Amino acid sequence: MKIFSKSMAAMLLFIMAASCSDPEDISVIEQLATADENIEKGGDTVNTESIIDFMTSSPWIVTFYGEIETDSQNSLEGHTFNFKGDNTVLVSSMSTEETGLWFARKDKRGMIVNISFAKSSNLHIIQGDWVVSGGQKNLMELKKTDPVTLITTMIRFERP
């Protein structure tokens, strides 16, 4: 099952990459698609700086946040995330603006984005490590699976 999932993910990312016209976006997507395979083989071909550049290149609007299995959604939709090069993230909505921290790293799961906000923040619900599960020129998806309930939550960001 795990091999099938990785193969399907790689194939989907390849299809998304084929639809991109900017060579830099394709390079980032190819790195995302091969991250798991390269890390498992002991390779270090995923360029963290390229992913950081991709994330910090423009604001991102949340178009979906919720549990994949139940298709439940949360009030984060419409929030704009600005990932900054100094590892801060500025999140704004119609009524609020909050600042948190973020960083990207690689591990055995692939490319990881860690996001954190103060416990008193409404955005504390997205605290923790998120696996970069997909991306293309104007779209990025992050997923996190709860180790106890095995429920997967996804954040889908799109560029305005």
Within 14-109, strands assigned E span 60-67, 72-73, 80-83, 88-92, 97-107
Domains annotated for the chain, with CATH where assigned, are 2-158 (2.40.128.280)
What is the band of 71 on the pLDDT scale with cuts at 50, 70, 90?
low
Q: How far is Cα 80 from Cα 95, in angstroms, rounded to an integer?
A: 12
Q: What is the dihedral of CA 53, 54, 60, 65, to 10 degrees?
A: -120
Distance (Å, whole) CA 159 – CA 33: 20
**Tens of pLDDT, residues 15-30:** 344 444 444 444 454 5
Name the phi and psi angles at 81, rounded to 5.
-105, 125
Q: Which pTM value belongs to this model? A: 0.70
pLDDT at 42 over 70: no
Across 90-106, average pLDDT: 93
Summary count for the chain: helices (H), strands (E): 3, 9
The predicted structure's pLDDT at residue 137? 86
Where is pLDDT greater, at 13 or 130?
Answer: 130
Question: What's the pLDDT score for residue 46?
Answer: 52
